[in-house]
Structure 1
Amino acid sequence: MAEAVLLALTKIGNVLADQVAKDLLAKLSEKVNNLRDLDEKIEQMRMQLATMNNVIWKISMTCLTDEVVKGWIGEVRKVAYRVEDVMDKYSYYSVQMAEEWFLKKYFIKGSHYVLVFTQIADEVVKIEKEIKQVVELKDKWLPLCPFVSHPLTEMERQRSQDIFPELVKDEDLVGIEDNRRLLTEWLYYDELDNKVITVSGMGGLGKTTLVTNVYEREKTNFSAHAWMAVSQTYTVDALLKKLLRKVGYKGEIDKMDVYDLKEEITRVLKDRKCLIVLDDVWDQEAYFKICDAFQSNQQSRVIITTRKNHVAALASSACRLDLQPLDGNQAFDLFCRRAFYSTKDHECPSELVEVAASIVDRCQGLPLAIVSIGSLFLFSEDYPISRESLVRLWIAEGFVLSKENNTPEVVAEGNLMELIYRNMLQIKENDELGRVTTCTMHDIVRDLALSIAKEEKFGSANDFGTMVQINKDVRRLSSYEWNDSVAATAPKFKLPRLRTLVSLGAISFPTYMLDSILSESSYLTVLELQDSEITQLPKSIGNMFNLRYIGLRRTKVKSLPDSIEKLSNLYTLDIKQTKIEKLPRGITKIKKLRHLLADRYDDEKHSEFRYFKGVQAPKDLSNLEELQTLETVEASKDLAVQLKKLMQLRSVWIDNISSADCGNIFATLSTMPLLSSLLLSARDENEPLCFEALQPMSKELHRS
């Protein structure tokens, strides 16, 4: 809905932050007057788009199916796409101009860039007029649309922002009466052995909704009360600071350590009756690390919501509430209350009863899914998705930005868990530590995606015949198991606005076809060719200045072209399980590279000790100071020195380690403050490694 606007705003931000481009543009402005206020016009454009984005977010969910509202949002989307195109054009020619200036060729092509940026300035003026028309449409047709969200929708938005959700009206709740009565009784049971109460069950059952309702009803009976969303990305000091603020502390807390925070909480809560809710807890440690701040208070009550049985066991069996799916009648009732919110008695129209019953049946009694379907008619697909790949794709696409002190990766992880929490994604596999590795989409979510794909300029083609019919304005193109030979004489595919190309498991995908697409798609951002039969990348890949993600996992590519060093905006390079043994030396020029994934299987049956091998570390590896993931490199006598500058690393895999090199390598790894994943492999099974030198300072690293 607002994603296109968000992307456009991101691109504007990148342009306005590019000081080199500004300096060069100032030189061009000496020749052409209308370039002098270009930055000012771009800033005005940013302000207008930001306002439109805010308006879209405030539109009530019940209005999103209104044709007038949909039409206006469509016009906003068109403008946002135009802005993104123009900003990418600005960035593209800024990079070229900077390179030629460096090579002293600027004066040869100076007049060319005057023409290009004059065209850009003219396009910005046209966009200003289009924005004005869109604003006038809003003022004329949208005042009739309420800008106050449905209470259930607003509750979910607030929860995602760690704001306590508003009370859901009793008439909006279905099937919780017995559980609400039981939970309320436990709060006041004097003989309660354990002050902890847990509410457990799979995602989407309504744990948070139930506890929200009880908390809001009963909190006035407690002199101190606090609601805190925990999730998987919590930190102990952040939870304690949040708790201290919510129980009424007004003093300075930023300089307090964990000990001080606990002491102050104990002091503030002394002799006070307290109610604390810990929502969405994934491990017992989250409770154990903070509970001593309030457990001495005999009058306190703690309610924990969780999906995990071992977390639910924090409460005695007498105070454990395990939620179950709604029965058929309750599920249908809840669906109708949401889907037909504005109709009398929320009655389902007779012509939709059969469809509604089918949808409710597919929700399997999960209230959150039913509520989502009721307002959005969500549909999904049962396809395994790698958590790490999904996070990196979101970042490359620009869907996720840094937030406060959190990296885009941390923010994206939180977004992913929010989708799982809302039952839009289901966990498929967990690793040894219980972290999500793969997830799947429901059929209902997939069908929703298909329904909006055309509006968002998505396209899909699995053969040549379909490909030639693709709209030339398509922005994201996917294919699966392409198996259609294309003649070398076939016309080029002209997709000038293409940003994302995903081709999974292509059985026949000729290099010249890929070269054809790349040559006409200057602004490509994502290139994912996982599991395809492709054997090489065209040299023209180096011209894709906007490329942020390259995925070649399990392809037959044997080497990367030297031109890859020109991809100055590349964030992720995934060449795991390819035939690549050595990286181009120039790869260390890609200063923005954050994730480098490179290893190959020498023994597919895993019968030998070194069944997989890393690539040779490039000579200037230490230049990649933004690197967060390095999987897998071969050990060498110089590797420890190279790693000393890479203090942003979270995941490091090293193989072929010798006893002579392990001391220095392990000592360097021990100093990495953010390390959370570490795989170390010796040269052979008889090679002794000095693990006593490995003393990691990172608190994020856990043995599996």
Structure 2
Amino acid sequence: MAEIVILLAIRKIGIALGKAAEDQASVQFGRYGTQLLELQGSMGRVGRELRIMHDVLCQMDIRSRNNQVYEGWLEEVQKVAYVMEDMVDEYLYLVGREHDIGCCFFLKKGFKKPRSLLSLNKIASKVKEIEKDLSHLSDTKNRWVPTISNGNASNSNYIVKRSQDLANISRSLDEEDLVGVDKNREKLEQWLAGDDLECSVISLLGMGGLGKTALAANVYKKEREKFQCHAWVSISQTYSREVILRNITKELFKDNVSVLSSTLDMDIISLEETLKKYLEQRKYLIILDDVWDPEAFHDLSRMFTHNDRAVD
């Protein structure tokens, strides 16, 4: 959960430092140029520190889980991320309170109206405190929190598990939690609604933490009923082709118990042929989430038959 809280704070900082907010801030607080630049600089440093913390959390040794010291440290990081998120909301509300591209624009994208409006100086002071708190937490981690164990099997397994956990959390995010994704969401919806009858592959590429799974899940929930059948499966860093095929089968045949039962004893070749025959008669949507290596897609793509109904 802490990783998601941190990511939301990072995304809000990104919008606060984006061109639209920056231009509006320059108009609103032009006479306070020095203070504004200092605040924006502090937000940028906090954002970078949170990004590094997020990356570290995703690689922490599995032995650190359920460790009282680690959990206590993680709780403090989460608290600071929450406070930073509140300060960004305060800043954006303050920047845009008299203009449509400010308050209303940002609040519609998941920002909550602050409980009490702070001044620019108070926000800047609070962000400075957050910057110091993060620096202190980094020092505390180095002194007391168990270090990452590089290269061992338990660490690799933990990374895979955390990746799957984060993907599951991302899929459950509400629409108001998605910030700054409207254009990409509209583009995905247009592609899925296209009249192209060829089997299409849509790839969402980017480093971890950008919100690819959350975006895909949001579109998937809205668009899946337009297809005759649909499935969502996670691949992860290490995967079994047979397990993935069986998971797709469970998704596609979850409402047909007799057909699903008949696939239980099938070998992988028979299973693949059954899926191909089923899909070639239908317009389908298959989401392969958390793909670490393009070879994983190529390994599974033989099943995705090309017909005049398919969208993949």
What's the TM-score once normalised by structure 2's chain length? 0.50
Q: Distance in 2 between matches of 1:95 and 1:132?
A: 30
Work out whether residues 86 and 120 of structure 1, in 8 Å CA contact, stay in contact via their aligned partners in 2.
yes
Q: Distance in 1 between matches of 2:9 and 2:177?
A: 11
- Deviation track 1:319-345 (CA, whole Å, cap 9, x = no partner) reads xxxxxxxxxxxxxxxxxxxxxxxxxxx
Q: Does 1:75 align with 2:76?
A: yes
Write out aligned runs for 1:153-302 (5 A).
154-155=156-157, 157=159
- 1:67 is displaced (CA, Å) by 1.1
| Counterpart residue type for residue 83 of structure 1 | M
Matching residue within 160, 165, 173 for 1:393: 173
Residue 142 (structure 2) aligns with: 139
Q: Distance in 1 between matches of 2:215 and 2:102?
A: 35
Matching residue within 202, 216, 229 for 1:410: 216
Q: Distance in 2 between matches of 1:155 and 1:393?
A: 25
Work out whether residues 427 and 436 of structure 1, in 8 Å CA contact, stay in contact via their aligned partners in 2.
no
- 1:46 is displaced (CA, Å) by 0.8
Residue 128 (structure 1) aligns with: 131
Matching residue within 113, 117, 121 for 1:118: 121
Please give the secondary structure, in 1, of the residue aligned with 2:173: helix
- 1:702 is displaced (CA, Å) by 3.7
Residue 25 (structure 2) aligns with: 25
Q: Distance in 2 between matches of 1:407 and 1:24?
A: 31
**CA RMSD, 1 decimal:** 4.8
Q: Residues 98, 428 of structure 1: CA spacing in aligned structure 2 closer, same or farther, 3 A cutoff?
A: same
| Counterpart residue type for residue 124 of structure 2 | A
Residue 148 (structure 1) aligns with: 150
Q: Distance in 1 between matches of 2:308 and 2:162?
A: 24
The share of aligned pairs that are identical, in percent, is: 20
- 1:43 is displaced (CA, Å) by 0.7
Work out whether residues 6 and 53 of structure 1, in 8 Å CA contact, stay in contact via their aligned partners in 2.
yes
Q: Residues 45, 700 of structure 1: CA spacing in aligned structure 2 closer, same or farther, 3 A cutoff?
A: farther
- 1:699 is displaced (CA, Å) by 7.3
Work out whether residues 59 and 155 of structure 2, in 8 Å CA contact, stay in contact via their aligned partners in 1.
no
Please give the secondary structure, in 2, of the residue aligned with 1:147: coil
Work out whether residues 29 and 36 of structure 1, in 8 Å CA contact, stay in contact via their aligned partners in 2.
no
| Counterpart residue type for residue 62 of structure 2 | M
- 1:61 is displaced (CA, Å) by 0.8
- Deviation track 1:601-643 (CA, whole Å, cap 9, x = no partner) reads xxxxxxxxxxxxxxxxxxxxxxxxxxxxxxxxxxxxxxxxxxx
Q: Distance in 2 between matches of 1:58 and 1:23?
A: 37
Kindly indicate which of the two structures has a greater share of residues assigned to helix. Answer: 2
Q: Distance in 1 between matches of 2:72 and 2:81?
A: 14
Q: Distance in 1 between matches of 2:150 and 2:180?
A: 26
Work out whether residues 92 and 102 of structure 2, in 8 Å CA contact, stay in contact via their aligned partners in 1.
no
Q: Distance in 2 between matches of 1:427 and 1:147?
A: 32
Q: Residues 427, 88 of structure 1: CA spacing in aligned structure 2 closer, same or farther, 3 A cutoff?
A: farther
Work out whether residues 5 and 77 of structure 1, in 8 Å CA contact, stay in contact via their aligned partners in 2.
yes
- 1:154 is displaced (CA, Å) by 0.8
Write out aligned runs for 1:456-535 (5 A).
none
- 1:394 is displaced (CA, Å) by 5.3
Please give the secondary structure, in 2, of the residue aligned with 1:120: helix
- 1:392 is displaced (CA, Å) by 6.9
Instruction: Please list every run of at least 4 consecutive aligned residues from structure 1 whose deviation after the TM superposition is greater than 4 angstroms.
Output: 158-161, 398-403, 405-408, 419-423, 426-431, 698-701
- 1:151 is displaced (CA, Å) by 1.1
Q: Distance in 1 between matches of 2:61 and 2:141?
A: 15
- Deviation track 1:268-300 (CA, whole Å, cap 9, x = no partner) reads xxxxxxxxxxxxxxxxxxxxxxxxxxxxxxxxx
Write out aligned runs for 1:303-452 (5 A).
391=171, 393=173, 396-398=176-178, 403-404=204-205, 408-410=214-216, 417-418=233-234, 434=252
Residue 98 (structure 1) aligns with: 99
Q: Does 1:39 align with 2:58?
A: no
Higher RCO (Cα < 8 Å, 6 or more apart)? 2
- 1:155 is displaced (CA, Å) by 4.3
| Counterpart residue type for residue 56 of structure 2 | V
Residue 50 (structure 2) aligns with: 49
Q: Distance in 1 between matches of 2:46 and 2:8?
A: 14
- 1:15 is displaced (CA, Å) by 1.4
- 1:94 is displaced (CA, Å) by 3.0
Work out whether residues 676 and 701 of structure 1, in 8 Å CA contact, stay in contact via their aligned partners in 2.
yes
Residue 10 (structure 2) aligns with: 9
Q: Distance in 1 between matches of 2:48 and 2:179?
A: 19
- 1:55 is displaced (CA, Å) by 1.8
Q: Distance in 2 between matches of 1:68 and 1:44?
A: 26
Q: Distance in 1 between matches of 2:102 and 2:134?
A: 35
Q: Residues 60, 159 of structure 1: CA spacing in aligned structure 2 closer, same or farther, 3 A cutoff?
A: closer
Q: Distance in 2 between matches of 1:101 and 1:400?
A: 14
Task: State the structure with more CA Rg.
Answer: 1
Work out whether residues 93 and 102 of structure 2, in 8 Å CA contact, stay in contact via their aligned partners in 1.
no
- 1:42 is displaced (CA, Å) by 0.8
Please give the secondary structure, in 2, of the residue aligned with 1:393: coil
Q: Distance in 2 between matches of 1:26 and 1:701?
A: 52
Moved more, 85-94 or 7-16: 85-94
Residue 60 (structure 1) aligns with: 61
- 1:78 is displaced (CA, Å) by 0.9
What's the TM-score once normalised by structure 1's chain length? 0.24
Q: Residues 394, 418 of structure 1: CA spacing in aligned structure 2 closer, same or farther, 3 A cutoff?
A: farther
Write out aligned runs for 1:573-592 (5 A).
none
Q: Distance in 1 between matches of 2:55 and 2:101?
A: 40
Q: Distance in 2 between matches of 1:97 and 1:76?
A: 34
- 1:410 is displaced (CA, Å) by 3.3
- Deviation track 1:200-245 (CA, whole Å, cap 9, x = no partner) reads xxxxxxxxxxxxxxxxxxxxxxxxxxxxxxxxxxxxxxxxxxxxxx
Q: Distance in 2 between matches of 1:67 and 1:158?
A: 23
